[in-house]
Amino acid sequence: MEMGRKLGILLMLTAMVTLMTGCWDKMEIKQLVIAVGLGIDKVGNDYLVSVQVVNPNELGVNSKGSGEAPVTVYKGTGKTVFEAIRKLTNTTPRKLYFSHLRIFVVGEETARREGLGKIIEFVSRDHELRADFDIIVAKDLKATTVIESLSVIDKIPAQNLFSTLELSSKQWASTSTVKIDDLIDELMTEGSSLVVTGVRLKGDKPELNKKGIFETTSPPARLEYDGLAVFNKDKLIDWLDKDESKGYNYVQNKVKGTVGTIRCPNQSGRLSIEVLDSKSDIHIRKENEKQHLGIRIRAEGNIDEVQCEIDLMKPGEISELEQFIEEEIKSFIQKALNKEYAIKADLLGLGKRIHQLKPSLWKELKQDWSNHLQEIPVEINVDFKLRETGKTKNSFLDKMKE
């Protein structure tokens, strides 16, 4: 197992470094348990902290496995997050070590009622925590359910969630990674609302943490990323659906690559388009004594699949396809903009852009920005160019004999 080898090497290197140093506060590796997942829920007046730790007996370099679960979850409560974690020393045999944290989960109910501010205060302050873990919201779930889950491909569930989100954010336009520094910056920035990816349960909840999940080719339960959570200050107020999430990511310059389908011009059938690059810009201009905002997207990609009769040798056909794709991307952005108007939360960061370009104007607008946002016209322009059509110009489907 690749992850097992990596962790085994990590344990050995950590032990070697510890032995070579003479620091007064050194911590022997045998005194630590490595935490890879952290979940926070508010239960009554207390915080419920769930910590997923690696079971070294199952993931060692030369370990053949003993049949035990690859991870263990410890849970504790406290009036603060730090108190809850410190109280876990009553049950953990070794000190919890958070420097290799991969995923940080907040339950939806907690994100709505409590908000993220008090929760991440400890996370941002703790010197052990690095800033490279992903923060997600458990959609219709408690965070502890996510932390207690098992996964199939990667035996460490937190690493599985981390790797999946990192890959999805680069190849699918409806997810997005948020690190702790990004989150704090968004909470402190004027004219912008925080947006965080959600994870939901697909299947039967009781099956999510059973070892039998490893013994089937089609697990009865799994976690999957679904939608983006929108915050007003630090409290969750609504969710973006798939199309709205794509619109958000296009405007935020977060589309590194994705795939979309459009209908074939003037006939039945579909085409698959791979978007390989996308750049966005938000600008502001004054026209007839009124401010206007413009969102401009420049993107390019390839044709990857054709399920209709179309002559890709003709420039006119290519031009028509490009217009279809432009309208599709434009519709995603318009849907995200409509959601912004509906929930009065500037998820696209239009106010932040005004603040950057015209600070004096933002000073006039910011006190009542949610209402001003409804009044300022927003124009959306998309320029898409097709670069490649695949190994063949036209599909073999249109040459098949009936």
Domain spans, the chain: 2-240, 246-399
- DSSP annotation string for 123-188: HHH-TT--S--EEEEETTS-HHHHHT---SSSSSHHHHHHHHHHHHHHH-TT-----HHHHHHHHH
- Within 8 A by CB and 6+ apart from 166, the residues are 134, 177
Q: Which amino acid is at 26?
A: K
CATH 3.90.1150.10 fits 246-399, yes or no: no
pLDDT, position 402: 47
Burial class (CB in 10 A: 0-12, 13-18, 19+), 118: middle
pLDDT, position 227: 92
Residue whose tokens read 């696209």: 348
pLDDT, position 159: 92
Can you tell me whether residue 307 is helix, strand or coil?
coil
Question: Does residue 143 contact residue 203 with C-beta atoms inside 8 Å?
Answer: no
pLDDT, position 87: 92
pLDDT, position 69: 75
Question: Does residue 316 contact residue 402 with C-beta atoms inside 8 Å?
Answer: no
pLDDT, position 16: 45
Q: CA-CA distance, 42 to 49, in Å (whole number)?
A: 9
Q: CA-CA distance, 370 to 155, in Å (whole number)?
A: 45
- DSSP letter for 213, please: G
- Within 8 A by CB and 6+ apart from 119, the residues are 40, 47, 81, 106, 110
- Within 8 A by CB and 6+ apart from 347, the residues are 193, 195, 230, 240, 248, 336, 339, 340
Q: CA-CA distance, 85 to 172, in Å (whole number)?
A: 35
Tally of residues, the chain: 402
pLDDT, position 30: 61
- DSSP letter for 234, please: T
Which parts of the chain sit beneath pLDDT 50?
1, 12-13, 15-25, 61, 391-392, 395-397, 400-402
- pTM, to two decimals: 0.84
pLDDT, position 19: 42
Question: Does residue 191 contact residue 369 with C-beta atoms inside 8 Å?
Answer: yes
Sign of CA dihedral 137, 281, 351, 340: negative
pLDDT, position 269: 83
The alpha-helical segments, DSSP class H, found in 297-384 are 315-343, 350-357, 359-365, 369-375
Can you tell me whether residue 287 is helix, strand or coil?
strand
pLDDT, position 322: 92
Interstrand relation of 32-43 and 95-97 (parallel, antiparallel or unpaired)? parallel
The alpha-helical segments, DSSP class H, found in 214-349 are 242-251, 315-343
Note the pLDDT tens digit of each residue in 327-338: 999 999 999 999
Q: Which amino acid is at 63?
A: S
Token representation of residue 148 = 């207690």
pLDDT, position 396: 45
Burial pattern 351-375, b for ≥16 Cβ within 10 A else e, equals: bbbbbeeeeeebeebeeebeebbee
